[in-house]
Amino acid sequence: MNEIVKDRAGLTRRGLLQSGGALVVAFSVPAGLAGTAGPAAAREPHRPLDPAALDSWIAVGEDGRVTIYWGKMDMGQGTDTGIAIMAAEELDVDVDVVDIVAGDTALCVDQGGASSSSGVQRSGVAIRHAAAEARRLLLELAAEELEVPAADLRVENGTVVAASDASKSVSYGELVGGQLFSHKLDWNGRLGNSLELAGTAQPKDPSEYRLVGTHIPRKDVPGKVMATMDFAHHLVVPGMLHGRTVRPPVAGAVPEAIDDSSIADTGAQVVWKGNFVGVVAEDEWDAIRAARDLAVTWSEPGPQLQTDTGGVHDFIRRAEIKSEEHTTDDGDFDGALAGAATVVEAEYEYPFQSHARMAPAFGLVDVRDGGATIWTDSQKPHSVRPGVADVLGLPIENVRAIWMPGPGSYGRSDADDGAIDAAVMSAEVGRPVRVQWMRNEGIAWDPKGVASVSTGRAAIDADGNVVGYHYGIKGFSRQNMRSRGDEAGSVLAGHLLGREPHNAYAARSPEQSYAFDAMRYTEQVIDPLLKVASPLRTAHFRDPMGMEVHFGQESFIDEVAEAAGADPVAFRLKHLTEPRDRAVVELAAEKANWQSRVGPNPDPGDGAVRRGRGIAYAQRNGAVNALVAEVEVNLETGEVYVPRFILASDHGQIINRKSMRTTLEGNLIMALSRTLFEEVEFDPEMVRSEDWATYPILEMAQVPQAIDIHMIDRTDIGPRGAGEASTRIVPGAVANAVYDATGIRIRKLPLTNAGVRAQLTGA
């Protein structure tokens, strides 16, 4: 061993490891549990945060453990384990020697947070390249160390061994343990989701994989099951107060007077700044009581939300179009329509939906000495950091956001708002403040998924050919505010302190490979119902507008198929151009034992319960899925039950089979919940959905008996994100199956019992 130590110094002199004497000593994740860090801790002197530096991504400890610094984080789908697998694969180490540090802005480069299902697809591929390069450097070092050519070396779990002489070996820890690589990667110059890295080394060919594509147990599971893992919510820092926010009873109301004697018995303190009202107390229950009991005189702004649950779709139809784009415009659609023998036309309505996270927003912030430390369960801590800096007017260098796990977050949920609320209160009271919203806030005040009206129009000629196809969506923007809380206008507290959101007019079009002679896709976006501090502000929600667009589109494809005298599967296969798309549709149909027919099931059963099946398919960002839903519709109650889903899924290269399966199940179940139950109730004054009774989601009784998942593994094209892609096909498949079972076409979500019953009885 002595020799190796000596030689290692020699290697350093040879310039491969220009550590400059800087030992990597600051690897441990700030647990945050012991104490709160001041702004100084926002800088880690020993490690770079330069995306082009290999050391920003990978460190090897003296014990041979590998740490990956990851600029995204796992929302519970095992993405962190996926990253560990990809790194371990390239480095030729076991997965359990790889530690992942995620989402600490002082330690991790901004890779965009959990976003767009790109954890594996993009950030994982960047880390794959970094790991391959690290392995190449380690082999170079080992070749010198062992005095054998690099080609004669192989790696066994982090130990480099000479193939010709097994007595010659050296471990990664012995080679570089605790030192920097001081090596540059090719970086594409971009931060966020599109950050890419490359080195001289090529990542492995899939034929060499040992780990990728197998089943590796997720790292996060035991801690969650054994109650040993810290959620953000468990964090306690010295001097911490509990904060609660106080919301107005109606949208747009602002505080005019506050009587703090109303909460004298709680010992809580009121925080009133601009239109922001909160309370802080030593005890959590005292803060909760104080927020509940605080006597606030609110202004009476009158109805601000312009419409209500029942009226919103007519409102959308009438609303002025603020932006319009034909995202596809091939051939002469208007001519085709004019000359058509048959025109099919239909409209589809999609409601506002709430993220309704399992727990409402959280944030713990310590503002002191001109800086802030934020503990957040936001899926974008790199955005919360500038958000807090902007709201408080702090230099961003003095702000550090540290991610910790929380309830699953699937888009721009209320998480960012919670962090900023805590920051505002901490700045006011000069102590760390932990905020948790109450349940009503987590449904009534979180950002919402978009309500929309879609229209399909198809032209069919006398021979039954579809010669023109148009599908358009009109709705609120999926970005009433930026999809990340990175500035004051993007968070509720910012609005309450006088800032306005940056409204972008953003929608979505179908992502599919249908081809018709003339076709047009159109996106039309309208203004928000209320611009500032709105309980109906819209933003990204799991697969932003994917469900809205593809519910209508895949329903309409079925309607057109029938009008053209075709079976839904045959019609799709006839018009799909991408081989991968055709493959999933064929596989789903085959596994579902699809019986071809035109029009509804001639044999749906004769009791109260009628049976049918439907299909839907869509791409998303390079992934493609087809889903067959089998349904039972109770004609008396209107209940729609899905006993079985059959999913054919192609997400490119599979990294971890079991996590892929549970992730896909989660997509389908959450989307089924949104298809069957979820609609934000509101009237012109306020959102009235505010708990699980007024915003019901799916429960165990409605869970399918079986979800069959058939995965196509495409090692040749790299991984494609699985976190959202199978969400968007659920409502179309279910609505098509309801039609098959009953002959009634339902063009409005959700498919609640009452809504379905009304349609069945024509009431």
Least distance from C-beta 212 to other proteins, angstroms?
Answer: 18
220 binds, among ligand FES, other proteins, none (CB under 5 to 8 A by kind): other proteins
Binds 231: which of other proteins, ligand FES, none (CB < 5-8 Å by kind): other proteins
Copy the structure tokens of residue 703: 């869970």
Strand partners, 464: none
What is the SS3 assignment for 426? helix
Report the nearest approach of other proteins to the CB of residue 128 (Å): 23
Smallest separation, CB 654 to ligand FES (Å): 22
- Residue 640 binds what, of other proteins, ligand FES, none (CB under 5 to 8 Å, by partner type)? none
Q: At closest approach, how far in Å is the CB of 39 from ligand FES? A: 33
Residue 95 beta carbon to other proteins: minimum distance, rounded to whole angstroms? 14
Rounded distance between C-alpha atoms, residue 293 and residue 114, angstroms:
37
Concatenating the DSSP letter of every residue in 4-52 gives HHHHHHHHHHTTSS--TT------S---SSS----GGGG--TTS---TT
Alpha carbons 76 and 723: distance in angstroms, whole number? 10
Q: 233 or 657, CB closer to ligand FES?
A: 233
Pick the closer one to other proteins by CB: 34 or 701: 701
The listed partner (other proteins, ligand FES, none) that binds 36, CB under 5 to 8 Å by sort, is: none
d(CA 585, CA 618): 10
67 binds, among other proteins, ligand FES, none (CB under 5 to 8 A by kind): none
| Beta-bridge mates of residue 518 | 468
Q: Among candidates 340, 349, 344, 483, which has minimal Cα distance to 410?
A: 483
CB burial of 142-172 (b: ≥16 within 10 Å; e: otherwise) equals bbebbebeeeebebeebbbbbeeeeebbbbb
List the single partner that 384 binds among other proteins, ligand FES, none, CB under 5 to 8 Å by kind. none
Query: Of 57 and 695, which CB lies nearer to ligand FES in the complex structure?
Result: 695
Name the residue among 311, 638, 252 with its Cα closest to residue 451: 311
CB of 416 to other proteins, least distance (A): 17
Q: What is the DSSP pairing of strand 153-156 with strand 353-354? A: unpaired
Contact call for residues 322 and 527 (beta carbons, < 8 A) = yes
- The CA distances from residue 356 to 57, 145, 276, in Å, are 34, 57, 22
Give the residue nearest to ligand FES (CB). 358
User: How far apart are the C-alpha atoms of 669 and 726, rounded to whole Å?
Assistant: 10
Site residues for ligand FES per CB under 6 A: 76, 358, 407-408
Q: How far is the CB of 670 from other proteins (least distance, A)?
A: 4
Q: How far is the CB of 315 from ligand FES (least distance, A)?
A: 33
- Comparison of 77 and 275: residue with beta carbon closer to ligand FES: 77
Q: How far is the CB of 125 from other proteins (least distance, A)?
A: 23
Shortest distance in whole angstroms from residue 221 CB to other proteins: 5
CB of 75 to ligand FES, least distance (A): 8
* Strand 159-162 to 153-156 pairing: antiparallel
Of the two residues 604 and 723, which places its CB atom closer to ligand FES in the complex?
723
Pick between residue 306 and residue 702 the one whose CB is nearest to other proteins. 702
CA distance 485 to 415: 9
Beta bridge partners of 640: 633
Q: Select from 523, 527, 528 the least CA-distant residue to 510.
A: 523
Closest CB to other proteins among residues 264, 608: 264
**DSSP codes, 536-572:** T-B--BSSTTHHHHHHHHHHHHHHHHHHTT--HHHHH
Which SS3 state, helix, strand or coil, does residue 345 take? strand
Comparison of 407 and 552: residue with beta carbon closer to ligand FES? 407
Which residue's CB is nearer to ligand FES, number 122 or number 289? 289
CA distance 79 to 123: 10
Q: Which is nearer to ligand FES, 490 or 673 (CB)?
A: 673
The DSSP 8-state label assigned to residue 280 in this structure reads E
Least distance in Å: CB of 439 to ligand FES? 8
What Cα–Cα distance (Å) separates residue 657 from each residue in 73, 225, 585, 709, 722?
Answer: 19, 21, 21, 11, 11
Q: Whole-number minimum distance, CB 207 to other proteins, in Å?
A: 28
Pick between residue 356 and residue 564 the one whose CB is nearest to other proteins.
356
The 3-state secondary structure of 286-312 reads HHHHHHHHCEEEECCCCCCCCCCCCCH
User: Based on CB atoms, which residue is closest to other proteins, 193 or 667?
Assistant: 667
Note the residues at the interface with other proteins (CB under 8 A).
75-78, 217-218, 220-222, 224-231, 233-234, 265, 283-286, 288-289, 356-359, 405-408, 410, 436, 438-439, 658-659, 662-663, 665-670, 672-673, 691-693, 697-701, 703-704, 707
Residue 711 site contact among ligand FES, other proteins, none (CB < 5 to 8 Å, cut-off depends on kind): none
Partner touching 593 among ligand FES, other proteins, none, CB below 5 to 8 Å by kind: none
Question: Which tokens is 198 given?
Answer: 């490359």
The DSSP secondary structure of 510-545, one letter per residue, reads: --S-B--SEEEEEEEEE--SSSSS-TT-B--BSSTT
Positive or negative, the CA dihedral 385, 386, 390, 394 is: positive
In whole angstroms, how close is the CB of 131 to other proteins at the nearest point?
24
Query: Which is closer to other proteins, CB of 674 or CB of 745?
Result: 674
Q: From the list other proteins, ligand FES, none, pick the one residue 93 interacts with, judged by a Cβ distance below 5 to 8 Å according to partner type.
A: none
Q: Which is nearer to ligand FES, 75 or 492 (CB)?
A: 75
Report, in Å, the least distance between residue 546 CB and other proteins.
16
Binding at 285: pick from ligand FES, other proteins, none (beta carbon under 5-8 Å per type): other proteins
Spatial separation of the C-alpha atoms in residues 624 and 717, rounded to whole Å: 13
Torsion angles phi and psi, residue 428, rounded to 5 = -75, -40
Q: Helix, strand or coil for residue 313?
A: helix
The kind and range of the H/E element at 374 are strand 371-376
Q: Closer to ligand FES by CB, 19 or 662: give it.
A: 662
Q: Which residues pair with 627 in a beta bridge?
A: 616, 647
